[in-house]
Structure 1
Amino acid sequence: MIRIKQLTKTYGAKRALDGLDLTLGAGVTGLLGPNGAGKTTLLRCLATTLAPDGGAVDAFGLDPADREQRTTLRRRLGYLPQNPGAYPHFTAFDLVDYVAILKELTDREHRHAEVRRVLAEVGLTDQAATKVRRLSGGMRQRLALAQALLGEPDLLILDEPTVGLDPEQRMVFRALVSRLGESRTVVLSTHQTEDVAALCERVVVMRDGRAVFDGTPGELAAVADGRVWLSDTPPATSELFWRTADGRYRTLGAPPPSADPTAPGVEDGYLMLLGEAA
């Protein structure tokens, strides 16, 4: 169990986290929110790469503010940052092996077996001997995910993990994360509402450093109940609409003339919840 209590973080005049309270348990929790909502700042605090200005984090009974407990916690977490760095002249295997050494996997035989395992998990076994600079953007993203999976962490923190992945790779990622969420805590930040709908049993929507929604994807979709419409002509009084693939217009909010109601999705609920901020 991870408990976040009155967490605050300020950058100059900008308050990225504003007294955030949140409790996270086993399973996959998705973080949604507009740019600047505080999602990445929260994940960096959970990953112990950033110290909050106030409040507290209790992760598995460990306090990251204490140096020794922070080290213990780092042994139990895996972190995929939003912009993962990589040494371009390393091979994929060597890079993950280097990170495994940093994670204190000191037995060479065991460490190499673990490196091969996580490369296989993300579908990069055939690219193990390829230099990082020769990998595609999607492959580099999967390589960063492999590093986060080293040591089978109890807490997996993923910031925009599906960036650069094609549809097939995204499907494999969803299967992997949903399996991991059966026995550990997974927190992922994303702008992809379809990822949240597909694999998160819980979703937290953030705005201005606070949680403005905490529930299931179905409950988030229900925020837009009775507010989603399909019409043959574009609405004259709404700016929140788009033309669908079948040529009809999907509108959020008040019904246009001669419009038919339709079932809302997670994206509809998110847009209705945040309004212009979304």
Structure 2
Amino acid sequence: MTDPAVTVPLVTVPLVTVRGLRKRYGRALVLDDLDVTFGAGVTGLLGRNGAGKTTLLRCLATTLAPDAGEIRALGFDPATRSGRSGVRRRLGYLPQDPGFYPHFTAFETLDYVAILKEMTDRRERHREVWRVLSEVGLDDRARTKVRKLSGGMRQRLALAQALLREPGLLVLDEPTVGLDPEQRLRLRALVSRLGENRTVLLSTHQTEDVAALCERVLVMDAGRILFDGTPAGLAAVATGRVSLGDDRPGPGSLFWRTADGRYRTIGEAPAGAVAADPTVEDGYLLLVGRTEGAA
């Protein structure tokens, strides 16, 4: 396997710092002495299920306390009561499974969350609710009850509540779930703009979103960081290990038949195959060892 040399991007202003973070669920070690720093910009987190991505995001979002280690976010220590309050006032969090009151309208849902975020001036609060509804393209559904919204609309509503009050730290766990291609493109444009002046952490299984959106990508596995660098650097992990050929590869390789009838192989190139340009997905699969015996 290609040696996953770590390429560390520039982090000019460390807005979030994690040191020695550990978390267990029973006997399973989910975060293993994790050290990482985040500055302004969009960082993507990739990893198989159980790699520790969601646990890390929950710790940063102050909904889960680590067993050991420390976090500093936006100048606050979330291990203290006052520090947690300070982070939460400046945090936008989209969890994997956001829960809503089904009989609330979209507007009422966001108005309620805005009150929880200490927006006490009614006129200012309503103006902010309309702003985030427009940002996610739900202003025409403001008076629709949550139970009548489609899955994709609920996901956009969850994103809207995370955007309330212009958070300095935006934590998004699988934000593109349930979105159609047009909505995903709109989300990319929105997150890209938000990342210009704040810290955005984006956990996803969509490698194309990482390639299109993130300046930086982390690959996690077993509670540790295997790679920290740019999407181009992750793709480069697969340099010389991706090929195209006319003949079907033998067992033990990861391959698929492309639209033009050729076979794309990740790993050992079959006889007669020619080298192909690697992608972020190729580098990720090689890094986490998902190509062995796949076919």
Distance in 2 (alpha carbons) for counterparts of 1:163 and 1:131: 20
Letter in 2 for 1:41: T
Deviation at 1:277, TM superposition (A): 8.6
Within 5 Å, give how 1:89-128 maps onto structure 2: 89-128=103-142
Report runs of 4+ in structure 1 exceeding 4 Å deviation.
none
Deviation at 1:213, TM superposition (A): 0.3
TM-score, normalised on structure 2? 0.93
After superposition, what is the alpha-carbon deviation per residue over 1:89-147, rounded to whole angstroms, capped at 9, x for unaligned? 00000000000000000000000000000000000000000000000000000000000
Within 5 Å, give how 1:203-222 maps onto structure 2: 203-222=217-236
Letter in 2 for 1:19: D
Deviation at 1:234, TM superposition (A): 1.3
Residue number in structure 2 paired with 1:49: 63
SS of the aligned residue for 2:147 comes to: helix
Residue number in structure 2 paired with 1:136: 150
Distance in 2 (alpha carbons) for counterparts of 1:38 and 1:129: 38
CA contact (8 A) 1:205 1:211 kept: yes
Question: Which of 165, 168, 172 does residue 151 from structure 1 map onto?
Answer: 165
SS of the aligned residue for 1:221 comes to: helix
Residue number in structure 2 paired with 1:2: 16
Stretch of structure 1 that moved more, 236-245 or 138-147? 236-245
Distance in 2 (alpha carbons) for counterparts of 1:180 and 1:63: 24
Residue number in structure 2 paired with 1:163: 177
CA contact (8 A) 2:61 2:88 kept: yes
Query: Does the C-alpha gap of structure 1 residues 277 and 235 become closer, same or farther in structure 2, counting only changes over 3 Å?
Result: closer
Residue number in structure 1 paired with 2:6: none
Query: Does the C-alpha gap of structure 1 residues 51 and 277 become closer, same or farther in structure 2, counting only changes over 3 Å?
Result: farther
After superposition, what is the alpha-carbon deviation per residue over 1:208-236, rounded to whole angstroms, capped at 9, x for unaligned? 00001000000000000000000112111
CA contact (8 A) 2:253 2:268 kept: no
- CA-based RMSD of the aligned residues comes to 1.0
Is structure 2 residue 85 aligned with structure 1 residue 71? yes
Distance in 1 (alpha carbons) for counterparts of 2:96 and 2:29: 20
**Could you list the runs of 5+ residues in structure 1 that have no partner in the other structure?**
none
Letter in 2 for 1:173: L
Distance in 2 (alpha carbons) for counterparts of 1:16 and 1:35: 11
Residue number in structure 1 paired with 2:267: 253
Residue number in structure 2 paired with 1:82: 96
TM-score, normalised on structure 1? 0.99
Distance in 1 (alpha carbons) for counterparts of 2:153 and 2:251: 45
Q: Report how many aligned residue pairs link the two structures.
A: 278
CA contact (8 A) 1:34 1:277 kept: no
Letter in 1 for 2:233: E
SS of the aligned residue for 1:214 comes to: strand
Deviation at 1:62, TM superposition (A): 0.8
